[in-house]
Structure 1
Amino acid sequence: MTAVDDRRVHDVFENLVVPEGFKAELIRGEIVMTAGPDKVHNRIVQSVQDQVPSDRWERLQTQDVAFPGEESEPQPDLVVLEIGADDGPGRLVPSPAVTMLVEVVSRTSVHRDYVEKRSIYAAGGVPVYLLIDPFKATCLVMTEPVGTGPTADYQSGRTRKFGDPVPLPIIGIDLDTSRFGTLPPLTATP
């Protein structure tokens, strides 16, 4: 894609009118529109948000994040940043201000969450990526981001089953997953 094309995509994305009940994200130069999440998804996000201490952390749902060097403006399910890390106006939180990003897998987001967003978040240096999968009933905590572009990744990853506590030392909690809802397994997931 050329610089002119990149600007056009960004301009279209900035001015896109998103129908009610949908969300739009810019993922590596492509505009991706998806239907709103179901109740299981929303309840999981709410549970995580409620457990992150609000006296130290901002917990922003569906907040757009800017990634330097990436043609991406994803809208994670939950953005966690230290209070005061980004007090500026606007719709974009710069990725260097972010401590943890949370995504809850949906039927249409499996590849994006496990592959594309994983490399985008690692390339942006986000210290913790928490991927919650209600189809597998697991939480994957990824830390130690390295690399740039599509080959960026997290060096460390640990999986916990729903019902087991998920240690998040950088946030200062053990996430209680015992009340996370599940969905019927998908036929093919990464």
Structure 2
Amino acid sequence: MTAVDERRMTELFENLEVPEGVKVELLRGNIVMMAGPDVVHNDIVEAVHDQFPRKNWRRLHTQDLALHEESSEPQPDLVLVERGTGPDSGRMMPPEVIKMVVEVVSKTSVDHDYGVKRSIYAAARLPIYLIIDPIVAHCVLLTDPTGTGDGADYRSQWIYKFGETVRLQPLGVDLDTTEFGTLPNVRPHRRP
């Protein structure tokens, strides 16, 4: 895609009228629409949110990220930024202040969360990407981003089953996953 095409797509994306109950993201120049989240999804996001003390962390839900070199404006389910850093207003959060992004997988987001977003977040040098998957009842912790563009990835990957503690040592938090629910009647996949 040329720079002109990317600018047009970004402009179109920013002016798009989205129906209620639909989530829209710009991922590498593609506009991606998804159904609104399930209650299981929202309960998981809330459980993660509650484990990060407000006095230390800004726990931002569905915050747009400014990843323009990737032609992307993803909207993770949860963004963690140290309190006192980042802009005080505006729609976009710059990657250099983000400590962790969290995506909770839905039946329509498996490929995006495990594939393109993994690459986008690594290319943006986001230090921690946590995928919480209520389809297969596990969390995938990704750290140590490397590479650029489509070839970017995380060097380190740990998988924790629901019920196990996810060790987030750089953030000073051991994440309790015992409250995480699962999505009923959804066909399992083979990711990560």
What letter matches 2:127 in structure 1? P
Code of the residue aligned with 2:15 in structure 1: it is N
CA distance in 2, matches of 1:187, 1:47: 23
C-alpha distance after superposition, 1:68-105 (max 9, x if no partner): 42100000000001112202431000111100000000
Structure 1 stretches (4+) deviating beyond 3 angstroms?
A: none
Unaligned 5+ residue runs, structure 1? none
Per the alignment, do residues 68 and 7 of structure 1 end up closer, same or farther by CA in structure 2, a change over 3 Å counting? Answer: closer
Partner Cα separation in structure 1 for residue 150 and residue 82 of structure 2:
27
TM-align CA RMSD: 1.1
1:35-114 matched pairs, under 5 angstroms: 35-114=35-114
Other-structure match for 2:24: 24
Q: Report 1:140-179 matches (<5 A).
A: 140-179=140-179
Q: Aligned with 2:49: secondary structure? A: helix
Q: Which one-letter code corresponds to 2:27 in the other structure?
A: I
Structure 2 residue aligned with 1:10: 10
Paired position in structure 1 for 2:119: 119
Which sections of structure 2, spanning at least 5 residues, go unmatched?
Answer: none
Identity %: 56
How many aligned positions are there? 190
- How far has the Cα of 1:7 moved from its partner? 1.1
Q: Deviations over 1:39-82 (max 9, x none)?
A: 00000000000101111110000000011421000000000011
Specify the SS of the correspondent of 2:171: coil
Q: Distance in 1 between matches of 2:14 and 2:114?
A: 26
SS at match of 1:122: helix
- Whole-Å separation in 1 of the counterparts to 2:103 and 2:40: 13
Q: Distance in 2 between matches of 1:102 and 1:172?
A: 16
TM-score (norm 2): 0.96
Contact residue 76 and residue 101 of structure 2 kept, 8 A? yes
Measure, in 1, the Cα distance between the counterparts of 2:109 and 2:170.
26
Please say if residues 135 and 188 of structure 2, whose CA atoms lie closer than 8 Å, have aligned partners that are also in contact. Answer: no
The 8 Å contact of residues 68 and 124 in structure 1, kept in 2 or not, is answered as no
8 Å contact 1:123–1:152 — kept in the other structure?
yes
What is the SS of the residue equivalent to 1:37? coil
